[in-house]
Structure 1
Amino acid sequence: MKNALITGATKGMGRAIAIAFAHEGINLAINSRNANDLNAFKAELLQINPAIKVFTAVADGSNKTELLQFAKNTQLQLGTINIIVNNLGMYQYAKILDDEPGLFDRMVNTNLMPAYELYRFFGKSMVAAGEGHIFNICSVAALNPVVDAGIYSVTKAALLSLNNVMRLEMQQHGIKVTAVIPGSTLTDSWKGQEIDKDTMVLPEDVASAVVNIYKMSKGANVDQIVIKPAGGQL
């Protein structure tokens, strides 16, 4: 069995990806700040596939110390990690000149730092194993900055750049790295707004893309995939 670590897995795209991997028989490591959410989701995943292992940890993925402890415990519980999905993220609607104090640090620690630290933690063991796949959930804001979400756009562009460096470092070792770049996706970022789901990308669409990319032949890698609403960005 393969083992996957997914950050931000109890909601939105991360949740859909975890469910999709459970259907594929892949063991999972997931974290959340909310123990009740974790326990409920673990039960759901095991109902989907009782044969898999699901390791959970109450940990804030934007806190480096807690993130690395989660990584260490995951390795102890599951062994070699074959798949990393860097999904944890936050969105703040604000121009940079209007950013509240501390927003820059929170954005960097949520949208960028976890991918860097988990790459550093698991990268060499992936090289030693000669296989693995890292997915970085970016955003179309990395390609076309949204001025009304300034620092979000900056951190997602930095994540895409980090993804590209990872891929170049890892390609000689047989490790795949893919940037998943969704447009307007129906997640909690849109909570409270009246939205027609048929005008948006669904989390399940992103999960389907991730699983199908992972299942490609050993010699194939998708450098990046852009998934936008059929009718254009909202």
Structure 2
Amino acid sequence: MKNALITGSTKGMGRAIAIAFAKEGVNLAINSRNVDDLAAFKTELLQINPNIKVFTAVADGSNREQLLQFANGTRENLGQISIIVNNLGMYKYSKILADEQGLFEQMINTNLMPAYELYRFFGADMVSARSGHIFNICSVASLNPVVEAGIYSVTKAALLSLNNTMRLEMQEHGVKVTAVIPGSTLTDSWKGQVVDKDTMVLPEDIASAIVTIYKMSTGANVDQITIKPVGGQL
């Protein structure tokens, strides 16, 4: 049985990805700052597939110490991790000149640091096993900056660069690394706004793409996939 760690996994894309992997019979490690959300989602995942293991940790993924405690608990409870999905992220409408004090550090610690630390934590294990797949959830803003979300665009571009460096480091070891680049996707980032879900990418679309990529043959890697609304960005 394969084991997957997914950050930001109780809402939006992370939630959909966890459900998709549960249906595939993959054991899961999930975290959240909210103990009730975490417990409820664990129950839901085990109802979907009673044959999997679900390890949970009450942890803030943007806090390095709590993130590494989650990673260590995952290793102790599930063993070898085959799949990492770096999904944790935050979006903030703000031009850089208008950024609140501390937003830069918050964005780095949420959108970039977890992927870096989990790579360093689990990477050597994947190299030894000569297998594994890391998915980094980037954004179309990593390709085309959104001026109204300046530091978000910067951190997502940095995540894409980190992804590409990971892939080059890992390719000789048989470990796959994929950048997933969603466009306008119906997540909590759009809370409070009037949107038509039929004009957007759904979290389930991202989850389906990730599972499909993961199930490809051993010799195939999708370096990067962009998924945008059929009618263009909102």
TM-score range, shorter chain: over 0.9
Question: What is aligned with 1:18?
Answer: 18
CA offsets per residue over residues 176-196 of structure 1, 9 Å max, x none? 000000000000000011110
Aligned pairs for 1:195-206 (under 5 A) are: 195-206=195-206
1:123 counterpart = 2:123: yes
Question: What is aligned with 2:63?
Answer: 63
CA–CA separation in structure 2 for the residues paired with 1:78 and 1:95: 42
Matched position secondary structure for 1:232: coil
CA–CA separation in structure 2 for the residues paired with 1:37 and 1:82: 25
TM-score (norm 2): 1.00
CA offsets per residue over residues 69-116 of structure 1, 9 Å max, x none? 000000000000000000000000000000000000000000000000
Q: Give the CA deviation at 1:31.
A: 0.2
Please, what is the CA RMSD of the aligned residues? Answer: 0.2
1:218 counterpart = 2:218: yes
CA–CA separation in structure 2 for the residues paired with 1:139 and 1:193: 19
Aligned pairs for 1:43-122 (under 5 A) are: 43-122=43-122
Gaps (5+ residues) in structure 2? none
What residue identity is the alignment partner of 1:173? Answer: H
Matched position secondary structure for 2:147: coil
CA–CA separation in structure 2 for the residues paired with 1:31 and 1:48: 18
CA offsets per residue over residues 52-81 of structure 1, 9 Å max, x none? 000000000000000000000000000000
What residue identity is the alignment partner of 1:175? Answer: V
CA–CA separation in structure 1 for the residues paired with 2:36 and 2:4: 21
What residue identity is the alignment partner of 2:115? Answer: A
What residue identity is the alignment partner of 2:225? Answer: I
CA–CA separation in structure 1 for the residues paired with 2:69 and 2:189: 28
Question: What is aligned with 2:135?
Answer: 135
Matched position secondary structure for 2:75: helix
CA–CA separation in structure 1 for the residues paired with 2:194 and 2:73: 40
CA–CA separation in structure 2 for the residues paired with 1:136 and 1:196: 27
Aligned pairs for 1:164-203 (under 5 A) are: 164-203=164-203
Matched position secondary structure for 1:195: coil
What residue identity is the alignment partner of 1:13? Answer: M
Q: Give the CA deviation at 1:202.
A: 0.2
What residue identity is the alignment partner of 1:192? Answer: G
CA–CA separation in structure 2 for the residues paired with 1:136 and 1:197: 24
Gaps (5+ residues) in structure 1? none
CA–CA separation in structure 1 for the residues paired with 2:106 and 2:194: 28
What residue identity is the alignment partner of 1:46? Answer: L
What residue identity is the alignment partner of 1:187? Answer: T
CA–CA separation in structure 1 for the residues paired with 2:86 and 2:185: 16
Question: What is aligned with 2:38?
Answer: 38
Matched position secondary structure for 2:25: coil
Q: Give the CA deviation at 1:49.
A: 0.1
Number of equivalences: 234
CA–CA separation in structure 2 for the residues paired with 1:121 and 1:165: 16
Q: Give the CA deviation at 1:161.
A: 0.1
